[in-house]
Each structure stands twice: as C-alpha cells, then as structure tokens.
Amino acid sequence: MSENTEGLSTGGPDAKPESAEEAAKKARRAQHDHDDARVDEWEEESFPASDPPSNY
C-alpha cells in the first residue's frame, strides 16, 4: 500500500478499509483547515482596521 502526499492511502489489493473514526477525524481536519483559511481571508480583508470586514 502506498501513500500520497497528504498521507492518505491510495489503496491496493491488501488495503484495509478506513474506519468510521478515521474518516470522521479526516473530515474534522478538513473542516478546521477550511474554517482557518476563511478566518485568514477575513483578517486580510479587514485591513485597515477602520473598515469593518465585509462579512461582519
């Protein structure tokens, strides 16, 4: 079994199926990364501080 650049299994004849717990963990990580990117974007858009963010 080989791994891609993000550490996810690419499968193979003897690959084990992902458990529900592992799938949930990956989903939480993806949601966190997405939310983190949104906050970073909002922070950049809020400069200068005298202008409120457009999504505030």
pTM for the model stands at 0.50
pLDDT of res. 45: 79
- 33: in domain: yes
Domain count, the chain: 1
Is residue 1 a contact partner of residue 14, using CB atoms and an 8 Å limit? yes
Contact 10, 4 (CB under 8 A): yes
CA distance 7 to 10: 9
Query: Is 3 in a helix, a strand, or coil?
Result: strand
Classify residue 8: in a domain, yes or no: no
Q: Is residue 14 part of a domain?
A: no
Q: Is 55 a member of any domain?
A: yes
Q: Does any domain span residue 1?
A: no
Chain segment 11-47, per-residue pLDDT in tens: 666 777 889 999 999 999 999 999 999 999 988 877 7
Question: What is the rounded CA–CA span in Å between residue 53 and residue 35?
Answer: 16
Q: Kindly state whether residue 5 falls inside one of the protein's structural domains.
A: no
**Domain ranges, residue 28:** 19-56
Tell me, yes or no, whether 2 lies in a domain.
Answer: no
Give the per-residue pLDDT at 1.
46
